[in-house]
Amino acid sequence: MAQYETVRGVGAGARAQIDEGLRAHMNKVYGLMSAGMLITAGVAWAVGTSDALLGIFRDPMTLQPNILGWVVMFLPLVMVFAFGALINRMSVAAAQLFFYAYAAAMGLSLAWIFKVFTGVSIAQTFLITAIAFAGLSLYGYTTKRDLSAMGTFLLMGLIGLIVASLVNLFIASSALAFAISVIGVLIFAGLTAFDTQNIKNTYIQHAMAADQEWLGKAAIMGALNLYLDFINLFMFLLQFMGNRE
């Protein structure tokens, strides 16, 4: 059942309607996220398993990125900030198309993993990530505990993680890489639960307004947040569990 602390003075019929709408909203969020994951996986696999395509972005022997490779590497980061800034000016259809384009760009940036790690270890890590993500998201959806207090802490940790990751691109410290992976798993595990609860509570707070355009964009933003949680959790776990070619 939904938590109604933020929706006061509603009757049983309204509560039932909110419950039904919340289920539909969460199904849309997970559906969009899953579609984005399929696009990312398809693009990454198609490029990563083709020497000709991967060679456009990276040296075929060392896998070091060329100029275009650096552009592709940072493109998802630029796009996600642009998406947050522009989504209020977009239609729902345009926002959804942008999300799918973002998922494709992420696939390009992750294609190299198919050259570095075995296909079996990638599949195993993906399955483990999916199980962990499902459990964490279910916890965020069902828990009565307010997780908003840890949002600021997780955001600060995320900023520090991004800075450390950018620094390690240039110094290539294995010890720092290990620390980043450990902290990354913990941060994105927490963010999965936090983001799920936030998507749920945000819907409940706005449910009575019945603004379909807002609901459509909120579902896309929710899908993007959970998509990023999954992708990052997968990549950090892959550093531990992936068997290299």
10 Å CB burial of residue 129 (0-12, 13-18, 19+) is: buried
Output the pLDDT for position 10.
Answer: 52
- In-domain check, residue 199: yes
Best-predicted range by mean pLDDT (31-35, 141-145, 212-216, 239-243): 31-35
- In-domain check, residue 5: no
Neighbour count for residue 31 (Cβ, 10 Å): 12
Residue 108 has pLDDT above 90, yes or no: yes
- In-domain check, residue 3: no
Residue 245 has pLDDT above 70, yes or no: no
Identify the residue with better confidence: 162 or 113: 113
Output the pLDDT for position 5.
Answer: 47
Residue 7 has pLDDT above 80, yes or no: no
Q: Where are the alpha helices (DSSP H) in the chain?
A: 12-48, 51-54, 67-86, 92-110, 113-116, 119-142, 149-171, 174-206, 212-241
Identify the residue with better confidence: 121 or 172: 121
Q: What is the pTM of this model?
A: 0.88
Least confident of 29-38, 54-63, 166-175, 217-226: 166-175
Q: In sequence order, which residues have a C-beta less than 8 Å from that of residue 158 and are 6 or more positions away?
A: 187, 191
pLDDT in tens, 8-57: 455 555 667 777 888 899 999 999 999 999 999 999 999 999 999 999 99
The radius of gyration computed from the CA coordinates of the chain, to the nearest angstrom, equals 19
Contacts by 176-185 with C-beta closer than 8 Å and gap 24+? 177/239, 178/239, 180/236, 181/236, 181/239, 181/240, 183/157, 184/232, 184/233, 184/235, 184/236, 185/233, 185/236, 185/237, 185/240
- In-domain check, residue 4: no
- Domain of residue 222, residue span: 12-241
Identify the residue with better confidence: 220 or 19: 220
- In-domain check, residue 102: yes
- In-domain check, residue 64: yes
Closest CA to 14 of 210, 197, 198, 145: 210
Which tokens sit at 1? 């059942």
- In-domain check, residue 71: yes
Output the pLDDT for position 69.
Answer: 93
- In sequence order, what are the beta bridge partners of 65? 58
CB-based contact 190:140 (threshold 8 Å): no
CB-based contact 2:15 (threshold 8 Å): yes
- In-domain check, residue 6: no
Residue 4 has pLDDT above 50, yes or no: no
pLDDT in tens, 49-79: 999 999 999 988 888 999 999 999 999 999 9
What is the percentage of the chain residues whose pLDDT exceeds 70? 91
Output the pLDDT for position 2.
Answer: 44
Q: N- to C-terminal Cα distance for the chain?
A: 47
The total of structural domains in the chain comes to 1
DSSP 25-40: HHHHHHHHHHHHHHHH
